[in-house]
Structure 1
Amino acid sequence: MVRADPYRQFRFRVEIDGITQAGFSECTFGDTTTDVAEYREGDEPPRFRKLSGLTKYGNITLKWGITDSLDLYSWRQQVIDTGAESARRNMSIVLIDEAGADKARWNIERAWPSKYDPVDFNAKGNEVAIETLEIVHEGFKRAS
C-alpha cells in the first residue's frame, strides 16, 4: 500500500497571463462562500427554506521580494489609468510536489489588482524588501 502524504504549502507557482514574475514568497488565497437566502411561501408552516444566493470569492494576496521587474506594478497602474475592465487577466495558482511536478491547479477568472502596497524601508533592518498586491477576481475552479 502506498502512503499518500499531504503536499507542503511552500512550493507553488503563480501564472498570470502576460506577466512573468518569479519568487513569490507568499500567496494568500481567499475562500468562496455562497449567501443563504431564507424564504417562505405565505401559506407554508412557519419554517423557512434555505435557498442559495450570491456566491462571493475572497481576494488573493501576493507578496514578493522587490526586483527590477515592473510587470505587477504596471498591471496595477493600468487599473488606475484606464479602469479594471481592460486590465482583467486569467491566472493560475499551482501547487508543486517535492519532485517539482505540478500536483494541484486553481484557475482564476477575470482577475485584476485592486491594491498595491510598496515596500517599507527600515535602515536598521536586513530583511528582503517585500511588495504586496491584492487581486480581486470573478471566480476560481480547481482544475487538478
Structure 2
Amino acid sequence: MAGETQNTTWPLPKFYFSVTGIPGNPVFQEVTGLETEVQVIEYRAGNSSTFSPIKMPGLAKVGNVTMKKGIFVTDDTLWTWFNSITMNTIARSNIVVNLLDQTGTAQYKWQLNNAFPTKLTGTDLKSDGNEVAVESIEIAYETMTITIA
C-alpha cells in the first residue's frame, strides 16, 4: 500500500560463495556439511526426587565437509593435495568458506580449523550420459568458527 515502508532485508543467496585455504585455490560448485553440534550428557543425582535425568551440554562435535568441482584436463590440485598425506604427516590448513553478497563482499564466513582431506571421489562415468565430470573431496577439521560481517 502507498505510504508503507518496505522491508528491504533479504536472505543471502546460497549460490554466490568462495573457498580459500586449499592448495591451488580450486573453484568449487558445491559445499555441503557445514555443521556443528553439542553432545548431550544425561545425569541423575542419586538423591534426586524426580525419576528422570537432567541434560547438560557436553563436547562439541563437527562433521566432515564435502566439496565438489568440475574436472578440467590439466587440473590435478585435489589429487596432489590428497596424495600429500603420508602416515599422519599432512600440512593442515585453515579453510574459509565465504558467503558473498551481490557486490562480492564476504558477509558470512565459516572457518574450518586444522583441516585436511580424508576422501577423494572421482566422477561417475556413463557412456550414454551428457553431464559434466565432477569430482568431490571430503575434508575433516577440528573446530569451526562462524563470523558475520
Following superposition, the deviation at residue 85 of structure 1 comes to 4.6
Q: Structure 1: any 5+ residue segments left out of the alignment?
A: none
Q: Cα distance 1:72–1:31, how it changes in 2: closer, same or farther (>3 A)?
A: same
The 5 A counterparts of 1:22-101 are: 22=27, 24-45=28-49, 46-67=51-72, 68-79=74-85, 82-101=86-105
1:35-84 C-alpha deviation (Å, 9 max, x unpaired): 111112222223322122221112111000012222211111122xx134
> Could you tell me the TM-score, scaled by structure 1's length?
0.87
User: Which amino acid in structure 2 is aligned with residue 72 of structure 1?
Assistant: L
**Is the helix fraction higher in 1 or 2?**
1
Question: How many Å separate the matches in 2 of 1:83 and 1:112?
Answer: 13
Identify the residue that residue 105 of structure 1 maps to in structure 2.
109
Question: How many Å separate the matches in 1 of 2:131 and 2:88?
Answer: 33
Question: How many Å separate the matches in 1 of 2:44 and 2:15?
Answer: 47
Identify the residue that residue 118 of structure 1 maps to in structure 2.
122
Dislocated runs of 4+, deviation >4 Å: none
- Considering only CA atoms, is the larger Rg found in Structure 1 or Structure 2? 2
Q: Structure 2: any 5+ residue segments left out of the alignment?
A: none
Following superposition, the deviation at residue 110 of structure 1 comes to 0.8
Following superposition, the deviation at residue 100 of structure 1 comes to 1.8
How many correspondences in the alignment? Answer: 141
Supply the RMSD in Å over aligned alpha carbons: 1.7
1:3 to 2, 8, 14: 8
Question: How many Å separate the matches in 2 of 1:110 and 1:19?
Answer: 17
> Could you tell me the TM-score, scaled by structure 2's length?
0.85
Q: Cα distance 1:116–1:18, how it changes in 2: closer, same or farther (>3 A)?
A: closer
